[in-house]
Structure 1
Amino acid sequence: MSKRSVTELQSASDLDGPRKAPRGVNARRENVVEDEMGEFEDGWEDEFESDEEVVDGEADEEEDGMDVDVMPAIEESEEKPAAQDAFIPGVHHLEKDEILEPDDSVYIMRHSMNVNWPCLSFDVLRDNLGDERQRFPTTAYVVAGTQADVAKNNEISVYKMSSLQRTQKESDDSDEEDDDDEALDEDPILESRSIPHLGGVNRIRAQPLPPSVPLPPVSQPYYVASWSETGKVHIWDIRPVIEALDVPGYTIDKSRTHTPAFTVNSHGRAEGFAMDWASSGEANPSALRLLTGDIHGKIYLTTTAQAGFNALTQPFVSHTSSVEDLQWSPTEATVFASCSADQSVQIWDVRSRGRRSVAGIGRAHDRDVNVISWNRMTSYLLLSGGDEGGIKVWDLRNVKKTGTTAPDPSPVAAFTWHNAPITSIEWTPRKTPYDQVTLWDLAVEQDDEETGAMDDKPDGGKDVPPQLLFDVKEVHWHPQIPGTVITTALDGFNVFKTISV
């Protein structure tokens, strides 16, 4: 991220209309008139001489014995603009007329897309376009819930992001690459279909589909769950909505999509934010389990059976404050983790009597623990992010059992980079050269030349994966497009892929 004066900033791609001339760049005025013979005339012909007239005039002057001064050709300067420093919070400060803009040299792809209402929670939907996709342009599908001005204006929206082009230019100046570069300026296409939702959406999560299981046919459901500010958890079938985005003229059966397939009323009127799905695996991906946690510290389990969904009435209770996040174990079907505003992280087993946690970290952070992420590659590692801006990595093999007097374990790693709450955190779904890759709220890319200025920060401010500055609320890796990350903020979605993931 570098900082530039507002007056120097050029406009970005405009999804809602024709591309505008960049600020500070004058659009060239065209005044071309077509005559009756189909040829074109220059409407300003009487004011400007043609190149031939200028050459002929110079020749006549030489024949008349007049001296003609020939100005030397102006050579282009080979000097490159001075590189701008990476902006680091706490070290640099923005002036009143400056804003931050991203350094596109570190992105293979970066697109921003605006939406009508802020979507502060979303999830990536699986598709049938293939796994491990590397070619551009590419396409992604997401489902999001809105935060509209009044409760009745909210929606569940399914977005199709297509024409996601590579935006990083190649360094070699070959003709083929020049042709490819013409596609770099093409705008992505954002299409959506929506269903009404009463109340703002605190969190939304899609039914998990194993990698080898394709998107179900339109006759079968594809569920998403929404946590409403009204205190209800709704389960929706969005499979026909996806079909409407892909098949021209497809008519959505509103009786199937516009009414929830099931509503969890276990929480009463208590609002909540925590939610996670678990699947029994590839053998029976339709056997689903949904965990939901509310602000009163209660966690409820909803399961599926032949008769449909079944919300269990007995809650899991060990937290003394709001449950902020929930995560099923990636390897043990009956185990899940939770974090809370009571500063703790708890481990649970649905088979345990009394619905109490079986192990935990009594004080994982000094303030509220907002988010957790369970590593799917190394199942004993758990990430947590707190209100104080800290990120910690926990080895669950060291977590103390409930009822013991052993002290809390120390985290195996801690990152104290931020001074604002961590609102979203997620392990990469695949192995990378790093032990971990995290995307943080209000993070920036660190430049090698700036590391010296960060030596006095906790942990040295070093060895931090490349970051970017979006006012991010939630972030997810795309499971089928390696290295691609999607974020949501007040102004819309950002889709990017950096050179280091």
Structure 2
Amino acid sequence: MARTKKKGKRGNKKPNKQELQASEYGAEVEMEDAEGNGASASAPPQPTKVWVPGVDEIGDDEELQFDPTAYHCLHSFKLGWPCLSFDIMRDDLGVLRRDFPHAMYCVAGTQADQPGSNSIAVVHMTNVTGKIPKAPSAMEDGDDDADDSDSSSDEEDIEDLEGAPNQPIQSKKPIFKVRLVAHQGCVNRVRAMTQQSHIVATWGDSGYVQVWDMGNHIRSMATSGPDPSGAPTTVRQAPLHIFTGHKDEGYALDWSPITAGRLLSGDCKSNIHLWEPTPGGKWAVEKTPYTGHSASVEDLQWSPTEADVFASCSVDGTLRIWDTRNRQGSAISIKAHDADINVISWNRVASCMIASGCDDGTFRIWDLRNLKEDSFVAHFKYHTLPVTSIEWSPHDASTLGVTSADHQLTIWDLSLERDAEEEALYQAQLKQQQAEAPQDLPPQLLFVHQGQKDLKEFHWHPQIQGMLMSTAGDGFNILRPSNLDNLPAL
């Protein structure tokens, strides 16, 4: 984001409940002179400066400018109520996909004002185009006039667009199909099974963990035409399994990437339960939990390479490594942060690395080959409010993303180092004036995405390189930063 002198206008505040809608960022920013008249093409360019969130203030006569060249893809949509958690569902459309337009699936859980108003949403997105967006007016306060996404004209075009990656970039908006399944209580976290993505687990604020089969909804959306209206009805469906053995609600939930159907759930009473799949589509949940944490278990992550090993983090500030074959406690426990550890991520490409995000806004990188207190590989203090999610890229061992309550999604490349000569050479080759970046920004900071309020969670798409999706209090974003083009193919 760059900061320029400009007159601005604030919109009206939106209600808590969102309308079901989808949009792409598509309104031009028109420069105005001091009296509000359109500026002429010959007007001298206004001075720009890189704005550092949480550090720089915005003056009354200044406004943030959106740089559309920073994205190859940027779209937004909403699902009625805000969603605290979602997951991207793997599909059979191919791996390591790059060419636009894309199709993708996700599952999300709502945070409604009444327990009976909640649902699990399964979303099918097609015609996710790579058109470089314009100014993000669709996310401004008071803009509730986005067009319904399931228009018949878009549906007619999608058959021609898919399977034709060499066609020119399209301007049509994405098409969203939604199926809603009733869920009693808010969904604290939702996760789709790695091997069978139609199998979904939810952690509810009711204290129950449930497993659902969303296969019929996925098949219906894949073969049906556009929805007849923009407000899908909510269907009632029985879950495959309900576990009521937790003593409180929780947030920690993770499917094993190695053993299909194996699940972990952790609660706010510091207990972790192991789920083992059984014949007939059910689960046997061990009644005796794994114990060791002295406070709420906030996140769980299975090892990507060892079937019986998993990691946990807690409000007690510890990071623990467990072996399911040993009931005597965790194999390793370290004091990883001085405050609550909210989230962890186990690197799927370099399996010796774990990242942890803290309530004080910091995050750290740990090497399991030397996991001791104060032995972190890297420590970053950039975010000013709690880290709400952290995840390694599935396509590059040194890249990870972070979301924070400071309304930022940041992408980091740990392999980067500052090179003054290279920076000077790059600046000399540029043909356009660039804003002067602050010297104290970490060289590993690759990208900053803003525009969403109260960011909760993000995920990399496991099959589309460089594609991310994030959820916040005001809806979802789908984005692909332009500077992630050089990710290596695995």
Contact 1:321–1:340 under 8 Å retained in 2: yes
* DSSP-derived class of the 1:440 partner: strand
Q: Is 1:248 aligned to 2:224, yes or no?
A: yes
Distance 1:123 1:202 in 2: 12
Q: Is 1:377 aligned to 2:364, yes or no?
A: no
Query: Of the candidates 181, 188, 193, which is equivalent to residue 207 of structure 1?
Result: 193
**In terms of mean alpha carbon deviation, does 332-341 or 122-131 score higher?**
122-131
Q: Is 1:295 aligned to 2:268, yes or no?
A: yes
CA distance 1:204–1:81, change in 2 (3 Å): same
Report the counterpart of residue 49 of structure 1 in structure 2: none
Q: CA deviation at 1:100?
A: 4.7
Report the counterpart of residue 468 of structure 1 in structure 2: 449
CA distance 1:99–1:347, change in 2 (3 Å): farther
Contact 2:257–2:302 under 8 Å retained in 1: no
Q: CA deviation at 1:488?
A: 0.4
Distance 1:223 1:206 in 2: 6
Query: Of the candidates 116, 120, 126, which is equivalent to residue 162 of structure 1?
Result: 126
Distance 1:482 1:289 in 2: 27
CA distance 1:7–1:16, change in 2 (3 Å): same
Report the counterpart of residue 180 of structure 2 in structure 1: 194
Report the counterpart of residue 263 of structure 1 in structure 2: 242
Contact 1:199–1:230 under 8 Å retained in 2: yes
Query: Of the candidates 379, 383, 393, which is equivalent to residue 418 of structure 1?
Result: 383
Report the counterpart of residue 338 of structure 1 in structure 2: 312
Contact 2:203–2:250 under 8 Å retained in 1: yes
Contact 1:7–1:24 under 8 Å retained in 2: no
What letter corresponds to residue 410 of structure 1 in structure 2? S
CA distance 1:322–1:99, change in 2 (3 Å): farther
Alpha-carbon displacement from aligned partner over 1:401-431 (angstroms, at most 9, x marks no partner)? xxxxxxx242110111011000000000012
Q: CA deviation at 1:289?
A: 0.8
Query: Of the candidates 347, 362, 368, which is equivalent to residue 390 of structure 1?
Result: 362
Report the counterpart of residue 87 of structure 2 in structure 1: 123
Q: Is 1:6 aligned to 2:13, yes or no?
A: no
Report the counterpart of residue 138 of structure 1 in structure 2: 102
Query: Of the candidates 434, 440, 443, which is equivalent to residue 408 of structure 2?
Result: 443
Report the counterpart of residue 485 of structure 1 in structure 2: 468
* DSSP-derived class of the 1:415 partner: strand
Distance 1:462 1:494 in 2: 26
Q: CA deviation at 1:20?
A: 12
Q: Is 1:350 aligned to 2:331, yes or no?
A: no
Distance 1:445 1:395 in 2: 22
- Percent identity reads 38
Pairs within 5 Å for 1:172-191: 180=168, 183-184=170-171, 186-191=172-177
Q: CA deviation at 1:5?
A: 4.5
What letter corresponds to residue 194 of structure 1 in structure 2? L
Distance 1:96 1:202 in 2: 39
Q: Is 1:365 aligned to 2:365, yes or no?
A: no
Alpha-carbon displacement from aligned partner over 1:39-75 (angstroms, at most 9, x marks no partner)? xxxxxxxxxxxxxxxxxxxxxxxxxxxxxxxxxxxxx
Matched residue pairs, number? 401
What letter corresponds to residue 414 of structure 1 in structure 2? H
- State the structure with more CA Rg: 1
Q: Structure 1, unaligned stretches of length 5 or more?
A: 26-75, 171-178, 210-214, 217-221, 282-286, 401-407, 455-459
Distance 1:96 1:448 in 2: 20
Provide the alpha-carbon RMSD of the alignment.
3.2
Distance 2:187 2:62 in 1: 34
Contact 2:103–2:128 under 8 Å retained in 1: yes
Q: CA deviation at 1:353?
A: 3.0
Q: Is 1:151 aligned to 2:129, yes or no?
A: no
* Higher RCO (Cα < 8 Å, 6 or more apart): 2
- Report which of the two has the higher share of strand: 2
* DSSP-derived class of the 2:387 partner: coil
Q: CA deviation at 1:202?
A: 0.3
Distance 1:291 1:228 in 2: 15
**In terms of mean alpha carbon deviation, does 135-144 or 385-394 score higher?**
135-144
Distance 2:458 2:25 in 1: 30
Contact 1:240–1:257 under 8 Å retained in 2: no
- TM-score (normalised: structure 1): 0.73
Alpha-carbon displacement from aligned partner over 1:107-155 (angstroms, at most 9, x marks no partner)? 1111111221101100001112211211211111100000011000000
